[in-house]
Structures are given as C-alpha cells and as structure tokens.
Structure 1
Amino acid sequence: MAPGKKILGEERRQLILEWLKTSGEPLTGGELANRSNVSRQVIVNDITLLKARNEPIIATSQGYYYFASPAPEQWFERAVACIHKPQDTENELNILVDLGVLVKDVRIEHPVYGDLTASVMVSNRKEAAQFVQRINETNASYLSQLTDGVHLHTIAAKEKQTLDEAEAALKQAGFLLSE
C-alpha cells in the first residue's frame, strides 16, 4: 500500500480481521488506524461493525484481540469475588498470572446500571503491568472503586486445580471476599 492511501470500507474491515487473527498480541486502535490511513474513530466504528457480525474481537487495555477459542483444548473458568484497594490491583493480577491463570474480566454490581463488566485479558506480569500503567496514564478509575473495592473476576486455567490454587492464593493475600 502506498503511504497516505486510505483503505476503504469492507476491504479495511477484512484487513483488520486478518491483522488481528495473525497478530500474536493485541493491536491498538491507533496502530490499526496507521496501517489503514484512517482515524482511530473509523477503526472503533469498524470494530463495532465486526463485533455485530459476531467476530470474537475483544477490546482490552492493551488493544484489540481476536479471541478465537481453541477447540481441542478445554479451559476451566470460575468467578472469584475479590476485595482490595486500587493500589493492590497489580499484586492481585500478579498472584493470578504467576499461577498460570488468565484473568478474563472484572465485574461489579453498580447500584444504578446493574452488572458492569470490562474485559481485562491479562495472562502474564507484562500484561498486568501494562494494564495498571494504562489505568494510571489515563487517570481512569478501576471499576472496583465504584463498589469500595468489591469485584468479581472471571478466571480461566487449563486445570481446575490451578483455579483452586488461585483462590487459595487470593485468600492468603487477603484479596478474597469472605462470606
């Protein structure tokens, strides 16, 4: 593609899908916009259209990710109820990823909006650090700040025992919400 040439409509959306599918890591809206020679807002609209076609694209703090679930390998999932201060977020995430757990999302129960869920998709210390850094750089708030630190995570692992170990580690750290 010649520099400065704008890629239009459906061709651009197909390229976005190809780039996301072949990338080993999430791609930011800015990066996709640069590759396509369009604005980031055009990319946001394209992603919305692709999601409406049931393409498994997830927006994470690191960028967009094509999440085609691997068919042969089964992952186990569990929701864990946690509570901690904002400054403990990176420690909480590191505890989980160090055990080989994928932190898929964070959920809260908001008094007005009901259940609010945000994608996290963190599976290693680098991604955990990037997630926290992005929150700090943008002066965004953690969802859990709306509920005095109370939140749920959907966690996933290849073995149920790993999820048990993750829960035990959260409890030991004082991050597991007790009954």
Structure 2
Amino acid sequence: MQNKEKVLGKERRKLILRTLQEAGRPITGRELGELTNVSRQVIVSDVNLLKAKKQPIIATNQGYLYTALPETAEEYEKIIVCRHEPEATEEELNILVDHGVTVKDVRVEHLVYGDVRASIMVSNRQEVKAFIQQIQQANAPYLLNLDESGIHLHTISAPREEQLIEAEQALKKAGFLVE
C-alpha cells in the first residue's frame, strides 16, 4: 500500500519501524521509500537514526530486518569457528540452513581493523542462493578472504539447541568446523 503524499520525519520513522516489526522478513530500502514516498537515501538516514535510538534493525543483503524476537519465542544462539576456501561458502551455508539454523553473520579478525562483521541472515537454501548470487554479481570478495588462514566465525541460531549441535556435527564431518 503506497501513500500518495510524502510521509514526514517522525511519522515516517514510526511507519518504517512498524513496517519492519510486522514484516518478519527483510524489507528493502526501495520498498520503504515507495511506502513513504521518499528516496532510498532518506530511508538509509531514517534507519540509521532508528539504530542510534537502539532499535534492533540490521541491514542484510535482502533488506532491512527488525531482529528483536517475540518474548514468547525461545531462540538458541551460538558462535562457531569455520575454515574453508571461498568456493565452499555455499556448501557451508547450505549445511547450516538444512539443519534449520539461521546464519546471522560472518566475522573475521583483520590485522588493522580488528573484528570485522557482516550480516548474512540466511535461513533456507533460496536465501543462500540469493546471497551467493549477490556476491558473484557484485564481484565482491568473501569476508573470509580478509584472514589469510580462511578462519571466520558465524553467529548461528535455531529454535532448538539440538539443531545447532546437529549442524556443528555436519560441519565437522564436511571438514569446515575448527575446534
């Protein structure tokens, strides 16, 4: 549903926040811009203002995502350490999502910058495929390339702890898990 008039300032940010909270999926800056009749650049500024006010919004390769979980939902989370060649990234992510796991981010330790983290937010094979395609189309390097050893960390989450354990076992079997 698109408004005919430009939504201004505070009201626009309230609408953006409500839209993200209710969506349960990433929403692109373009979609939010169409909803409020402003440019994507204005949306980027608004989202940054919302983040500065401690709203749990992250930018993913699929759009903006409100990350607060409903209070009734219990989510298990873990950080795992992996190592593989860049060409194995899709396989690694598919192993994780095939176990019902959401891969939230990737993190590497950079010689100059320290910890460098990027959001991934994939939870099924379709999202993994779209993520890999975006990397390839942009000719962007994988973050794991910043560490010459290929070691990187992922924050993973799942509704059941067993899913995390099973995913780790599958990564170990594939030779990706660093213990």
TM-score normalised by L of structure 1: 0.92
Given residue 117 of structure 2, which amino acid in structure 1 is its aligned partner? T
TM-score, structure 2 normalization: 0.92
Percent identity (aligned) = 57
Equivalences, count: 176
**One-letter amino acid matched to 2:100:** G
List aligned pairs for 1:20-169, cutoff 5 A: 20-148=20-148, 149-169=150-170
After superposing on structure 2, the runs of 4+ consecutive aligned residues of structure 1 that deviate more than 3 Å are none
* Cα distance in 2 between the residues matched to 1:63 and 1:120: 11
* 2:152 alignment partner AA: H
Structure 2, unmatched stretches of 5+, are none
State the one-letter code of the partner of 1:37: N
Given that 2:100 and 2:123 are in contact with CA atoms closer than 8 Å, whether structure 1 keeps it comes out as: yes
RMSD: 1.4
Q: Which moved more, 1:44-53 or 1:131-140?
A: 131-140
Stretch moving more, 44-53 or 153-162? 153-162
1:13-68 C-alpha deviation (Å, 9 max, x unpaired): 11111211222321111221222222211111100000111111111111001112
Q: After the TM superposition, which residues 163-178 of structure 1 pair with which residues of structure 2 at under 5 Å, given as runs?
A: 163-178=164-179
- 1:9 — aligned with what? 9
CA separation in 2, counterparts of 1:7 and 1:73?
Answer: 33
Q: What is the deviation of 1:131?
A: 1.2
For structure 1, the residue ranges without an aligned partner over 5 or more in a row are none
For residues 130-172 of structure 1, the C-alpha deviation after alignment (integer angstroms, 9 at most, x for no partner) is 1111111222221101113210001112222221211111111
